[in-house]
Amino acid sequence: MTPDNHSGRGNDTNRSGATPSESASLRVGFIGLGIMGRGMAASLVRSGFPVVVHNRNRAAEQALVDAGAMGAASPQALGTQAAVVLLCLSDTAAVEAVLFGPDGLAHGLKPGSYVVDTSTISAEATRDHARRLAERGITLIDAPVSGGEAAAAKGELSCMVGGTPEALAYCQPFLDAIASRVVHVGGNGAGQIAKSCNQIAVSSVMFGVVEAFALARANGVDPAAVREALLGGAARSAILEKNAVRLLEQDFKPGFKAGLMRKDLRLAQEAAQSAGAIDEMAVAQLILRRLDTVCESGDAEQDWSVVGKLK
């Protein structure tokens, strides 16, 4: 399937034929108001959609309710009120519980509804979730995101979508509210594989920057000056622009937690193993071992930049 690249906002009509004004009348649900989810839900509210939210810790809903959203007591209760529901949850088990638990979303959604899972979870589980929801007449697309907390707050994430083109077309207005770049990469599960590719790429760059700074320090050269020099050349990257500042300042207040990056790289390793490509993942396996050490030393809740923590 040829990827469909949808960038920017303001299309007059999406491929399902629904106009923006018609989409705006649909109530959209959002479950999972953590570091990323709260910014994404706020972007939907700012875009003018009627939004209903739920979070396991109900106190996290209040800021969104104050901004104009409604709260729901459970995923099932939220499902009875929304035609499209976005999820932003920590892992595969959390998504499974929210979708199919005793008060799960699937028990409240009507046939014809859509679930947009922006969580980073197992591609195999995503395909299973899509199948089980389809049996109830509910469509799922996997749409994991990249960009970090600041981009989530601004509605400027990058979104990798797995699902049918028709499902993406229906959900496009909601994705455009949270992302500045939306790319269709294939069927269900393909979005999760693309996110694993993203995590391998960015973690490899991060470890390169950590080693570059270590080399500079060992030779009496200021890493901050090295960063400025590198930003003007081929080494320029989002990691060098943003995360490298955390390394220089040794500021590891969590944005994206080390434990989550470890989880994501484990998912990438599992996907590679299933596809018979694990021998091609030598660098990712080295990085995962380093993250295991970092997390087991007590830094799992710190920002993943903590891999560059000075001893």
**pLDDT tens-digit map of 179-235:** 999 999 999 999 999 999 999 999 999 999 999 999 999 999 999 999 999 999 999
CA–CA dist 164, 140 (Å, integer): 9
Sequence letter at residue 39: G
Give me the pLDDT at residue 262, please: 97
The predicted model gives 115-140 an average pLDDT of 98
Give me the pLDDT at residue 260, please: 95
CATH of 4-187, one of 3.40.1480.10, 1.10.645.10, 3.40.50.720, 3.50.30.10: 3.40.50.720
CA–CA dist 209, 237 (Å, integer): 10
Residue 3 has pLDDT above 80, yes or no: no
Q: CA 235, 237, 239, 242 torsion: positive or negative?
A: positive
Contacts of 310 (CB under 8 A, 6+ apart): 250
Give me the pLDDT at residue 215, please: 98
Strands 157-162, 145-146: parallel, antiparallel or unpaired by DSSP?
antiparallel
Give me the pLDDT at residue 22, please: 54
Which are the catalytic amino acids? 195
pLDDT tens by residue, 151-174 = 999 999 999 999 999 999 999 999
Instruction: Answer whether CATH 1.10.1040.10 is correct for domain 193-308.
Output: yes
The predicted model gives 238-262 an average pLDDT of 95
Tokens found for residue 202:
């960015």
pLDDT tens by residue, 270-301 = 999 999 999 999 999 999 999 999 999 999 99
The predicted model gives 235-248 an average pLDDT of 96
Residue 265: pLDDT band (50, 70, 90) is very high
Q: Count of residues for the chain?
A: 311
Q: Specify whether the CB–CB gap between 290 and 203 falls below 8 A.
A: no
pLDDT tens by residue, 6-65 = 544 433 333 343 454 556 568 999 999 999 999 999 999 999 999 999 999 999 999 999
Residue 259 has pLDDT above 90, yes or no: yes
pLDDT tens by residue, 62-105 = 999 999 999 999 999 999 999 999 999 999 999 999 999 999 99
Give me the pLDDT at residue 196, please: 97
CA–CA dist 133, 96 (Å, integer): 11
Q: Specify whether the CB–CB gap between 104 and 75 falls below 8 A.
A: yes
Tokens found for residue 232:
């003007």
Give me the pLDDT at residue 298, please: 97
User: Where along the chain do its domains lie?
Assistant: 4-187, 193-308
Give me the pLDDT at residue 26, please: 81
CA–CA dist 224, 241 (Å, integer): 11
